[in-house]
A = this chain, B = another copy of it.
Amino acid sequence: MLDFVNVRAGIVVTGTEVLTGRISDANGPWVARRLLGLGVDVAHITICGDRPDDLTAQLHFLAASGVDLIVTTGGLGPTADDLTVETVAQFCRRPLHLDAELETHIAQIISRWQQQRSEPTAESSQAGTRKQAMIPQGAQPIPPVGTAPGIAIPAVTEDAHRTPAILVLPGPPRELQAMWDTAIGIEPIAAAIAGRGDFREQTIRALGLSESELAATLRTIEPGIDGVDELEVTTCLRRGEVEIVTRYPIDAQAAYDALAGGLLEHHRTQIFSVDGSSIDDLVATALQGRSVATAESCTGGLIAARLTDRAGSSGYVMGGVISYSNDAKTAMLDVPAELIAEHGAVSEPVAAAMAQGAVGRFAVDIAVSTSGIAGPGGGTPGKPVGTVCFGIALAGTAPRTRTLHLPGDRAAVRERAVTIAMHMLYRALRSDRRADGLG
């Protein structure tokens, strides 16, 4: 733990569907990011099922570990297995009471929904509404976005019954996220995080840099940096990229600058971003004023999906072809059948022709293509599973190609191929800008 962190929080994610791995939790990471962004340190995230004893045990653990704030997510629905409010109230020794105003408010929301869906008002929903309007003594409700209100419970600082502040939020990520800003501004929560520190977080991203190479570089440069102990450096592999995230108090800026400078010196060709930009950000910026299309085989639409993931991408994405069959490569991308017969579908000449075909068919400035063997079947001694050929075509120039052997299973090969394609797009766009005298 770093000294500059004054306020610590714990996050409790509830839900048997999360605990048993049937859905992956989006709330823990989201709340953690927000708390860190506020200068609050996150000590623990715990996940429990819809069982009051386990939830109570986790609340005791977090309170005993000395956190100033606990945020819980989930378990606020109208049904019997939603037990968070009751359990939290019992943990805090605060009896529940009906908030009549809140009950009316929730009933109005439900009746509006039912009118839209022309459903009759069910007796069951009245019981559910009443359940959702029960509030622990001394707590403040947070207005619902769906039907479930949040709850803010003040900290108790007397030693005998010491409990941290508790923020109870619903499970649906859309509701939780829409309620966040209100929730952290509400008195019991604002008071709990008032002592937070003032720090920065910076991210450097690299491609083609192994974690052990990076560790060796850090061992080389860190001893020479004054105040290096104030930097909390975390490295992680993500989609084939390495991400180096450093948190530090504002007055350790010089130490961070020295670290960042040392990393750049050692890995200039591998580092592609020092300001937190992702490759997706860089590609989107580089595509402003241009147009792009995709020609995908083994990635099956994932490159196009990633490009169109961003709002505003319709300004530069014209479209793409998924040419899974050889016939589709010929019919939709003008890849000569003889070329496929001669070199095989997974080959650089075919990848080049696919990219060129996409440039022609979609009348775009640039196109990227993939043709590969994602597995588990289809590998040969010469072209094992994981072999992926990439093509980049810029209108009016000869296409460039590359072949890589990517590790992992089908999903990993596909995902990594998409990341490589994004980097090839970026490099081609950047060097093209330079040729234009624009970059």
Contact = CB atoms under 8 A, between A and B. Distances in A.
B21 A311 contact: no
Given A21-B28, A21-B33, A319-B332, 7 more contacts: A16-B234, A78-B215, A300-B307, A305-B305, A314-B324, A318-B324, A318-B327
Contacts of A77: 211, 215
A320 interface: yes
Nearest to A222: B80
Nearest to A314: B324
A62 to B, nearest CB: 9
Residue in A125, A308, A309, A411 whose Cβ sees the most chain B Cβ within 10 Å: A308
Nearest to A320: B322
A95 B53 CA distance: 35
A47 B50 contact: no
A22 interface: yes
Contacts of A235: 17, 79, 81
Contacts of A28: 21, 47
A301 B322 contact: yes
A26 interface: yes
Contact of A236 (B22, B53, B311, B319): B22
8 contacts: A20-B245, A21-B32, A24-B26, A61-B61, A301-B302, A309-B411, A319-B324, A320-B324
Contact of A1 (B21, B51, B236, B363): B51
A108 B26 CA distance: 39
B300 A302 contact: no
A48 B81 CA distance: 27
A48 B44 contact: yes
Interface residues of A, number: 105
A79 B322 contact: no
B320 A325 contact: no
A331 interface: yes
Contact of A174 (B25, B49, B409): B409
A438 interface: no
Contacts of A57: 44, 61, 65
Contact of A323 (B29, B48, B319, B377): B319
A307 B325 CA distance: 14
Nearest to A123: B216
Interface in A367-384: 375-378
Contacts of A33: 20-22
A340 interface: no
Interface in A1-49: 1, 15-26, 28-33, 36, 42-49
Interface string A393-414: 0000000000000011111101
B318 A319 contact: no
Contacts of A58: 44
A439 interface: no
Contacts of A98: none
A22 B332 CA distance: 39
Contact of A234 (B20, B218, B312, B408): B20
B45 A46 contact: yes
A128 interface: yes
Contacts of A236: 15, 17, 22-23
Contacts of A410: 309, 311
Interface string A231-273: 0111111100001010000000000000000000000000000
Given A28-B47, A216-B122, A243 B17 contact: yes
A118 interface: no
A16 to B, nearest CB: 4
Contact of A319 (B45, B234, B328): B328
A237 B79 CA distance: 14
B54 A43 contact: yes
A32 B20 CA distance: 5
A430 interface: no
